[in-house]
Amino acid sequence: MKIVSVLYKGNEFIREKNCENLANEDVDLVLGFGSSELISLPKSFSDIKLRYPNAQIALCSSAGEIFNTEVLDDSISLIALSFDYSQIKTADTNIKDYQSSFEAGEYLVNELSDEKLKFIFVLSDGGSVNGSELVKGMNSVKAEGVLITGGLAGDGTRFEKTYVGLNKLPAIGNILAIGFYGDKLELSHGSIGGWESFGLKRTVTNSKGNVLYKIDNENALDLYKSYLGKYADELPGSALLFPLSIKINENESIVRTILSIDEKNQTMTFAGDVPEGSEVRFMKANFDRLIDAASDVASNCLEMSNNPKLALLISCVGRKIILGNRIDEEVEAVSEVFGKTITLSGFYSYGEISPLKPMENCELHNQTMTITCINEIE
């Protein structure tokens, strides 16, 4: 496997790292993560297609793009890949063609299913797709042992329009999936948040999908405000500082970001489902623990595979907002664990897709750093 990392900005390719002299025409796959404004421009897509004429091109908008150890805005971070032994197959669809995101997930995995399938990388619209249902649909039809990771496209901090495109100009509502096939693929992955839980354990007693009404039969919004104290006056912005931990089994929990609050109806809307009967706790940010968590994820990946070549990092927009001018430290922490020989790329998202345990079913996460490592071994 050969890798080239390229940065596109201001309608031109401004930087390239091509240590293996990979020719543009030999590139099999291009992954690109960039600002909504730039990645949705026809010229951006045509320039990338012209540069890599024989490649499958998968693009999505971001809330910040990762180029090696830098976190950037208003650019497109590109990774061009050529495989020596493995094959890829792609599929895409649009959410408007389905009654549910679950059905879209089923369709994508069924399009890629094959006995040699080892890994699916998914990029989804981050506004109109229910990420929880999407991963449930994918899990329902995937073969055992197939790894699924990916993320939901971002739109900076605007939360307005997100764009995804496979071999065409990225557009709203699209979902794409890339299947990786072959016995030579070496994969590893990890996902950690680094948040601190506080307060009592409570139970969701009234919810519908990703809308939360009551916790312990109390109005959820009122209860949430009581925990926030002085930060309650800064809602909804301060909600990113205080996500919700949802226990999904005896030993594991996932984090849910609050997208909006409805004062009139006294509800809270999350970036993923909050099932009735779930045990939940409120969480708060700790700057150093967020950065340490990124380092821990990288270490977990190395435990699964000590020879990764490419690390795809997908982290949450909430982490980027909270860390502020310290955001580069999160990526630098990952780089320090991996060393300088591993290429880093990725983006800040509206939701991260990754298993909780090695090679098990994927889950939708919020406020986490997820990493997927890829290499080919002889």
Strand partners, 343: 310
Q: Where do the CATH 2.40.30 domains begin and end in the chain?
A: 196-284
Residue 286 has a pLDDT of 78
Residue 260 buriedness (CB in 10 A; 0-12 / 13-18 / 19+): middle
Residues in the chain, pLDDT under 50: none
Could you tell me the pTM of the whole model? 0.92
Distance CA 148, CA 179 (A): 9
**3 state DSSP class of 230:** helix
**245, β-bridge pairs:** 255, 281
Q: In the prediction, which pLDDT does 340 show?
A: 87
**Structure confidence at residue 198 (pLDDT):** 83
- Tell me what pLDDT residue 124 has: 97
| Class for the domain spanning 196-284 | mainly beta
Burial (0-12, 13-18, 19+ Cβ within 10 Å), 19: exposed
Packed helices 327-338 and 287-304: angle between N→C axes, nearest 10 degrees: 30
Among candidates 122, 117, 186, 185, which has minimal Cα distance to 145?
Answer: 117
Residue 302 φ/ψ, nearest 5 degrees: -65, -30
Closest alpha carbon to 191 in 157, 147, 153, 156: 147
Q: Which of 37, 43, 40 is nearest to 59 (CA)?
A: 40
pLDDT of residue 259: 76
pLDDT in tens, 298-342: 999 999 987 899 999 999 998 898 888 999 999 999 999 999 889
**pLDDT given at position 233:** 86
CB 248 within 8 A of CB 288: no
In this prediction, residue 229 carries a pLDDT of 84
